[in-house]
A and B are shown apart, each in its own frame.
Chain A
């Protein structure tokens, strides 16, 4: 195929059109598109290369350039049409004429979109908040004395009522999450036993020995950090525990490199985006709507089905632990719950089920849902206070 030589764009849109085009790019960004300077410049080259009146080709080309996710791909046409043809002028793209058109009102970024990213920089890594907020608050905790802290860690989440206690409980959850991660990292570094020879280095070293591989060098198997998926039951029966666990999830999300969080009651909601909000109080506010006013029982089986169908492929890899926090009161079919649990079991490395009720005296897992799920659970543990969460740490380090 012979393509005409391509030079830097010599095609000038003119000032008003350029501004309008910049507004279009901003509109895309606020809809979650990642578009940098290089992409904008390439868009100009596309304008040079095709007739601007050829709308279908223009849309297809800009879509291929600007979209980088399936969701982008699917919403691009609607955004394009809304922006350029909001006035019902169809069939032509008249740049100069549309200067006066009111800027398309931008819908606020959805909870999963995050702030619009711009410029040439990469998307920043998830803020590693393990150190700062946790240690800062931890320092204040230490002033409170060990005994007081111990008493607090034994207190059932339901009975933590005053704000000060709650705040300290949160701080403990943060520190606990940070601790789990340090443990994991240390374990990775210690794994030094090689399984395969590093031929490149062996050859290097054998030159001095006349080609006889005397000094062997091994390749270390690189261990992967543990991934964590947390599913929190926020139904009515769990409401006394929800704030504490939301805080716990937030802490875990900050300290694990790869963690995803979901809430479920009658349906499943991905809250990882809302949770990565750095300020925990704002994070809680951001999805308080998702947790409030929920009636109609708990459909654990259905929620897990949604998870397995839509999110499992993306969030679960070989070294992934799934943590389900629920009291196991299932109002759907226990059979369905069992089926979905078995599907989930096949995918992930470990399933941990935390049940706040399990910390109560004389508790036996008799709820139908709990019974159906238990055969697929690797660890069933109480989680009614901080002490019980702390007891999990060595287990998670081994996953």
Chain B
């Protein structure tokens, strides 16, 4: 039993090695994915790094990452498979005069099949990471289809028959909560709520991604971001924005936020992505925030 715990601890270490700073709860959830063979549903605000979890997981296992971006109107054709119509038309021309049913059998066969993410994931030689991104944007019908695939890991193509999984992918689903996803799908999944990182972890992330940054500056940036997120903003800056902001600071060679607050204000475009938010954080507000955190 203790060896299992060790494996669980190893996940945190290996994630750190691939540049992802995970908290204990997330490491536990990732470990459970393998133990219980369940998909992991990640929920949280936009920008907290949900997609990054899947990328880190792929790096951790050295597995290919197959991404399925969901959108309203996503159907099975886009998610599962499609026929290569151009090739089919050419083949029909080439076989003109032959028996129609023979032609038909030929053009609806493996070489004419185009894999889409889900089919690619279950037909991969090695266990892939299947990232079903923003599953809440797809509609209810797709959710039901996804639930079926996630429990059986086999799909049926009418012209070809049933295709069983060559390997069972590790599945990560993300949701921004724009729509309630069904209880059945939720119940099938492990659940992890991704929150904005606390200050220490944000410092760790900045330092992991920008190894050259001074520790004091990384701390200032993390503190400033914590303060900015408390302001009443329409679009709260996420981790990606933090990293852009830190990169910009390094770029202009500023090692202390207090050194030139107006330059910092100019760099806020890396953090604030709407006009209203930019108008809200005036020079005075920024100076006040910097004075507080530096």
Interface residue ranges, A against B (CB under 8 Å): 1-4, 6, 34-36, 39, 42, 45-46, 48-51, 54, 56-57, 60-61, 63-65, 67-70, 72-74, 117, 122-123, 199-200, 203-204, 206-208, 210-211, 213, 224, 313-314, 317-318
Contacts and interface: CB of A to CB of B under 8 A. Distances in A.
Contacts of A211: 89, 92-93, 96
A318 B187 contact: no
B103 interface: yes
30 contacts: A1-B61, A2-B7, A3-B4, A39-B187, A42-B36, A48-B1, A50-B4, A50-B8, A51-B2, A56-B24, A57-B5, A61-B28, A63-B191, A64-B25, A64-B40, A64-B192, A65-B191, A70-B43, A70-B177, A122-B183, A199-B83, A200-B77, A203-B89, A203-B107, A207-B100, A211-B92, A211-B93, A211-B96, A314-B178, A318-B72
Contacts of B100: 207-208
Contacts of A60: 24-25, 28-29
B60 interface: yes
Nearest to A206: B92
Interface string B182-198: 11101101111100000
Nearest first, the 6 A-B pairs at minimum CB distance are A211-B92, A68-B186, A60-B28, A123-B183, A64-B29, A122-B184
A68 B183 contact: yes
Interface string B86-115: 001100110011001001100100000000
B32 interface: yes
A64 B85 CA distance: 44
B184 A123 contact: yes
B99 to A, nearest CB: 10
Contact of A34 (B88, B96, B103, B186): B186
A34 B4 contact: no
A346 B84 CA distance: 40
Nearest to A199: B85
A50 B38 contact: no
A1 B34 contact: yes
Given A49-B1, A203-B89, A63 B10 contact: no
B104 to A, nearest CB: 5
Given A1-B61, A117-B183, A207-B103, 9 more contacts: A3-B35, A67-B193, A69-B186, A70-B177, A72-B191, A200-B83, A203-B88, A203-B89, A224-B139
Interface in B56-79: 60-61, 72, 77
A260 to B, nearest CB: 10
A68 B189 contact: yes
Q: Which of B25, B97, B178, B189 counts the most chain A CB atoms within 10 A?
A: B25
